[in-house]
């Protein structure tokens, strides 16, 4: 039994499916919205009645943005499903690592992933977010190990983080 109550042991096996489920649900809703926006942009009743009627143009921009988000979500899901199968290095934090962080008395979980940065869910009452290695947090995490500390400067001041555990 692991004496550290904040250990990621076993949490990664719960985190990846929870994130995948959350993103698949989001993807289904987004696909429906993208289809509706596409239909609105291409429907014959959407034809401009005069030069000031921009409904079809706006709907096409919306459809294009939603299509890009669908593509991004699919890439994120593919990456997370690959992490389910392959695992990660146990010596240092890398892409695919689930990291338990402590900062200012708060505990958070961060899964380092190339896609989907900013996605957030709750896992067993603890905030879990996907973090890109290109973000300030992700960039600092790469290569660290349990017990390491680092600082991130933000508008609100400097935050000190400690790696409690990772898997």
> Count of domains in the chain?
2
With respect to residue 74, please indicate whether it lies within any of the assigned structural domains: yes
- Identify whether 2 is part of a domain: no
Residue 118 in any domain: the answer is yes
* 33 within a domain of the structure (yes/no): yes
pLDDT at 4: 44
pTM of the model: 0.74
118: left (phi over 0), alpha (psi -120 to 50) or beta: left
- How much is the pLDDT for 56? 67
Within this chain, do residues 130 and 75 fall inside the same structural domain, yes or no? no
Q: Are residues 82 and 116 in the same domain?
A: no
Q: Does the residue 3 lie in any domain?
A: no
Distance of CA 20 to the CA centre of its chain: 10
- If asked whether residues 104 and 137 sit together in one domain, one would say yes
From 78, 50, 80, 46, select the one nearest 62 (Cα to Cα): 46
Q: Both 64 and 40 in a single domain?
A: yes
> Are residues 58 and 114 located together in one domain of the fold?
no
Tell me, yes or no, whether 93 lies in a domain: no
Cα(20)–Cα(67) distance, rounded to whole angstroms? 19
Tell me which residue has tokens 């977010």: 129
Within-domain flag for 79 = yes
Calpha distance 111→44 (Å, rounded): 45
Q: Kindly report the CATH number assigned to the domain that includes residue 151.
A: 3.10.50.30
CB 88 within 8 A of CB 12: no
pLDDT of residue 51: 64
Strand ranges for the chain from DSSP E: 98-103, 106-112, 120-123, 126-131, 149-154, 157-166
Final residue in a domain of this structure, among 36, 54, 86: 86
Task: Look at residue 5 in the predicted model and tell me its pLDDT.
Answer: 47
CB 139 within 8 Å of CB 133: yes
Domain ranges, residue 124: 98-166
Divide the 167 residues of the chain into consecutive groups of 10 and give the mean pLDDT of each group. 49 88 92 81 64 68 84 90 72 92 93 91 91 94 96 91 94
Residues 78 and 110 both lie in one domain: no
- The confidence score (pLDDT) of residue 58 equals 78
Is residue 91 one of the residues assigned to a domain?
A: no
């Amino acid at each position: 039994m692991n004496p550290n109550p904040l250990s990621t042991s076993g949490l990664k096996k719960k985190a990846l499916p929870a994130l995948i489920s959350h993103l698949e649900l989001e993807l289904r809703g987004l696909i429906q919205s993208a289809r509706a926006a596409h239909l609105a942009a291409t429907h014959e009743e959407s034809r401009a009645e005069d030069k000031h009627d921009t409904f079809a143009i706006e709907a096409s921009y919306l459809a294009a943005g939603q299509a890009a988000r669908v593509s991004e979500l699919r890439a994120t899901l593919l990456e997370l499903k690959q992490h389910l199968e392959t695992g990660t290095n146990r010596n240092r934090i890398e892409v695919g690592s689930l990291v338990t962080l402590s900062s200012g008395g708060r505990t958070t979980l961060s899964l380092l992933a190339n896609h989907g940065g900013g996605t957030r869910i709750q896992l067993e009452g603890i905030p879990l977010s996907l973090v890109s290695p290109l973000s300030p947090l992700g960039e600092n995490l790469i290569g660290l190990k349990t017990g390491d500390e680092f600082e991130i400067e933000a508008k609100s001041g400097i935050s000190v983080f400690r790696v409690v555990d990772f898997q």
